Amino acid sequence: MDRQVKKSEVPSYEIVEEKIKEIDGSIIVFRIFYIFMQIVYKFQLIKNDKLCTIEIPRKLLEGLKGRNGILEDELNRILEAYLVQTDCWNKV
């Protein structure tokens, strides 16, 4: 089973949250898990009564600490690819 982590354990959490709010201010970060075997953080997001799960590589999040513009663009691409797609959002 994936280990649930606190926001404070996630590298560059504030940047991820900021980017999510820029896309849609009504989205809330519900839970975060760390998947050791894949070395990714799995974010579960809620919007109204729907849930979306996004996996972001740990290396990307660690690289964002220095506010790297290229990595921020990569994060934006990942977030937009999931959050804009209606396939990601499932009714809970």
Rounded to whole angstroms, how far apart are CA atoms 90 and 16? 21
Average pLDDT of the chain? Answer: 92
The Cα angle at residue 17 between residues 81 and 64, in degrees rounded to 5: 80
For position 66, what pLDDT does the model report? 82
For position 56, what pLDDT does the model report? 96
Reported as half-sphere exposure (CB side, CA atoms, 13 A), residue 65 has a value of: 6
| Domain ranges for the chain | 3-91
What letter does residue 2 receive in the DSSP assignment? P
Which pairing describes strands 3-4 and 40-47: parallel, antiparallel, or unpaired?
A: unpaired
* pLDDT value at 1 more than 80: no
Q: Which one has a higher pLDDT value, 63 or 85? A: 63
Helix (H, G, I), strand (E, B) or coil at 83: helix
